[in-house]
Amino acid sequence: MGAVSANLRVFMMFAVLTVIFVIVGWVVGEYFMGNWVMGALVFLVIAAIMNFVSYFFSSKIVLASYRAKVVTEADAPRLYRIVRSISSTAGLPMPKVAIVPSQTPNAFATGRNPKNATVAATEGILQLLNDDELTGVLAHEMAHVQNRDMLVMTVASTLAGAISFASRSLLYGSMFGGGDRDNGGFLIALVIAITAPIAAMLVQLAVSRSREYKADYEGAMMIGRPMSLAKALRKLEAGNKARPMTVGNPASSNLWIVNPFSAKGLANLFSTHPPMDERIRRLEAMAGGMRF
């Protein structure tokens, strides 16, 4: 059932984001190519290629975008030891382990299934957290591995980023002389440039927040210490606000255990992560013997 529901989530994610991408193509074709059918078909082909690439190569793309380096046990014995212990406890294959060269304290998991998973931690989180807290964070990431969440979130990140890029390109093209301004090309481009990335973000939201709550719960259950993760989340929230990440694409923020990018004002309304206070409250309730 877990694999079936995961595959259904992937299919729905592919379908909805592809539709949004094709809509952008329709507008490009109508106002910049003179043929909406051609624009929609071109973007449909691009979306199909991106879906294929996302499924098979998105993990490598994400790791490369953050300059993450896959390490051996000799390179990172502490990190390797904790991940191996959690994997053994959960009955999961040992994933690859990677380190991101960033002082922003954070972690994520990626890969299309448990056999092809990679768990990545930043240099900052290794310095900030003690072993107990780091175990809580990595158990959360292994829960994502167990639930096959990584593919869903990685695909969402890749396609949402493409939608944002295509929408901005459409707007810039209309601003600098492209398109049919007499028929409202610029206005249409402006509307698409604003609404398409928001729609893609809402698709991410529909999945990401519930996945984070579930990974908090199941990760805490794996190690039997909800407060380990709760303490880590408090430190990570403060650490990421003090030192937000400056590399990578904000569209991939849903991959990380906490949002590593600076978000102010309206951006907080569209956060792919649940409110931190609520995540901690639920973990504290677990520690007190209560269920979510």
For 46, the token pair is: 């691009």
Task: Tell me the one-letter amino acid at 242.
Answer: A
Rounded (10°) angle between helices 2-28 and 185-223: 160
- The secondary element (H helix, E strand) that includes residue 211 is helix 185-223
CA 128 from centre of chain:
22
Let me know if 141 is a catalytic residue: yes
The catalytic residue among 30, 73, 123, 141 is 141
Q: How far is the C-alpha of 155 from the C-alpha of 61, rounded, in Å?
A: 11
Q: Return the closest-CA partner of residue 15 out of 159, 194, 176, 135.
A: 159
First vs last C-alpha separation in the chain: 22
Instruction: Give me the long-range contacts of 24-28 (CB less than 8 A, separation at least 24).
Output: 24/163, 24/166, 24/167, 24/170, 24/192, 24/196, 25/166, 27/170, 27/188, 27/189, 27/192, 28/166, 28/170
Side-by-side strand order, sheet with 118-122: 69-71, 96-100, 118-122, 107-110
- The secondary element (H helix, E strand) that includes residue 120 is strand 118-122
Q: Which are the catalytic amino acids?
A: 141
